[in-house]
Amino acid sequence: MARNTVSRSLHDLGLSAWFGGTLANAVSLNPAAAAADDASASGAVANTGWDRWTPVNAAAIGAHLIGSIGQLQGNAGRLHAQKGVGSMALAKTGLTVAALGLTAYSRVLGRQVSEHTAVPVESGTKPATSTPPAVAAAQSKLRMLQWAVPAVTGALVVISAFAGEQERPSEVHRGLAKRVIG
């Protein structure tokens, strides 16, 4: 089996940044915005933070996707020969598509909020009574999505660990035997 250090690194570093960055922003940035001096400053703080994170997140996602393609290519033989690898890859692909969809939808909503740079809010995902209705609606959706993205990317971390376990020689032999025996 050939080494796939570059693709594995891109896959893992991209996924860890995607997961960790969105989790950190949900845990710290959004609530910390409430500590600003006034409601308009809270919106500006949250919007600035998320707008700065967006290009880094895009690069992380791109690295993860490039690494994922490299991993699929590097493990093509195992995908076909080792029982369980194909279904794991399908599950992982499904989670990746879900994470991409959630992230894209979050960005669309985030843009709606950040168009109003200094909009009054209580925190990054909690509108104030004076928040414009369209922004308040976007924030309400973002309140759920801020946890959905790290949950799905966290599940990707777990299934990636499982995929690594499938590469152990004992697992490869067992999977090949199960494929042959049926």
More confident residue, 121 or 180: 121
- Tokens for 156? 């990707």
The per-residue pLDDT for range 129-164, each reduced to its tens digit, is 999 999 999 999 999 999 999 999 999 999 999 998
Candidates 141, 156, 160; CA nearest to 98 is: 156
Quick one: pLDDT at residue 141?
96
The per-residue pLDDT for range 65-120, each reduced to its tens digit, is 999 999 999 989 888 888 899 999 999 999 999 999 999 999 999 999 988 877 88
- DSSP assignment string, 137-166: HHHHHHHHHHHHHHHHHHHHHHHHHHHHHH
Using the structure block, give the residue that is written with the tokens 């209580």.
122
The per-residue pLDDT for range 23-79, each reduced to its tens digit, is 999 999 999 988 888 888 888 888 899 999 999 999 999 999 999 999 999 989 888
C-alpha torsion sign, points 43, 46, 52, 56:
negative
Quick one: pLDDT at residue 17?
98
Tell me how far apart the alpha carbons of residues 127 and 134 are, in angstroms, rounded to a whole number.
10
CB atoms within 10 A of CB 64: 26
Contact 42, 74 (CB under 8 A): no
Quick one: pLDDT at residue 1?
56
Quick one: pLDDT at residue 42?
86
Residues with Cβ < 8 Å from 65, sequence gap 6 or more?
14, 96
Domain ranges for the chain: 5-181
Phi then psi for residue 118, to 5 deg, are: -110, 40
Q: H-type helices in 3-38, by residue range?
A: 5-24, 30-32
pTM of the model as a whole: 0.89
Using the structure block, give the residue that is written with the tokens 């791109």.
62
Quick one: pLDDT at residue 22?
95
